[in-house]
Amino acid sequence: MEVPLARLADFLAARGHQVVVEEESAAQVAARRYAVTPAASIGAHADLAIVVGGDGTMLAIARRLAAIDVPLIGINQGRLGFLTDIPLARMETTLEAMLAGRYLEERRTLLDATVTAHDGEPQRALALNDVVINRGSLGTMIECGVDIDGRATFTMRADGMIVATPTGSTAYALSAGGPILSPTVPAWALVPVAPHALTHRPIVVDDRSTIRVTVIRGRDAAAHCDGQVRFPLAEGESVTVKRAAFTARFLHPEGHDYFAMLREKLHWSETPERLRSRPPHDA
């Protein structure tokens, strides 16, 4: 069976487009002899990036390309596919229309996280989904303090705290009981993970806010950006989160509807009987 990435590359080349393949994926299209470049520099060679994979792959590529404003299209080869929203089975027909100019463009905000440690230079990373401060492998709760725009807001004992973008509101934050934020809403969701006091509830704040989360007590805590970049946190160390200076560009098929996508992915309005009767398929 032909590898989807090779199929995609051949499809694009047959239509006169110059194809550049990220080097870690190049083995899948080696026989085609397409140009190869490292992920860190692919934006310098591309007017458009088409990502074949799941949402995790898209998160990693989007963080790299957002600063240079390269648009992204996602082909879903994963499970849910909130960001990689084009089914593999309809890849060619959908791309044919999009490359002809029939598409919708959407911009998604990113988080800019700075970790302040007791020693050493501050470390920074971007997140498209979320920044998570959580307990480590020792299994004990952490106590953390949350400041919003320099004002002490609350302290809590919990397994962790999630600062999620609208994009990330359907990821870890959703499973922790947070709200779904439409991508057009300029806000962050602050979602506690298993708080000790049930009065600590998710809150939504303006995305112009600066959020600082400080570990007051807790061993082996860490900050995670999109679940892909990790920074250890000692007691007294903090993570400051604010809106990044740029956005990620996503292109969707013509007629794309965010809420229709949620209905499909989250099975809204489905009864248990109908769900059981549906044939298994990869979302």
> Catalytic residue numbers?
55
Which residues share a beta bridge with 206? 187
CB 22 within 8 A of CB 47: no
Please give the helix or strand (H or E) that residue 8 lies within, else none. helix 4-14
Tokens representing residue 154 in the block: 């609350």
Q: 274: helix, coil or strand?
A: helix
**What is the enclosing helix (H) or strand (E) of 13?**
helix 4-14
The 8-class DSSP code of residue 197 comes to S
d(CA 172, CA 174): 5
| CA angle in degrees (0–180, nearest 5) for 213-214-217 | 135
CB 74 within 8 Å of CB 250: yes
For residues 192 and 189, what is the distance between their CA atoms, to the nearest angstrom? 10
Paired residues of 256 in beta bridges: none
Q: Kindly tell me the number of DSSP H helices and DSSP E strands found in the chain.
A: 6, 17
CA–centroid distance for 60 within its chain: 8
DSSP state of 137: T
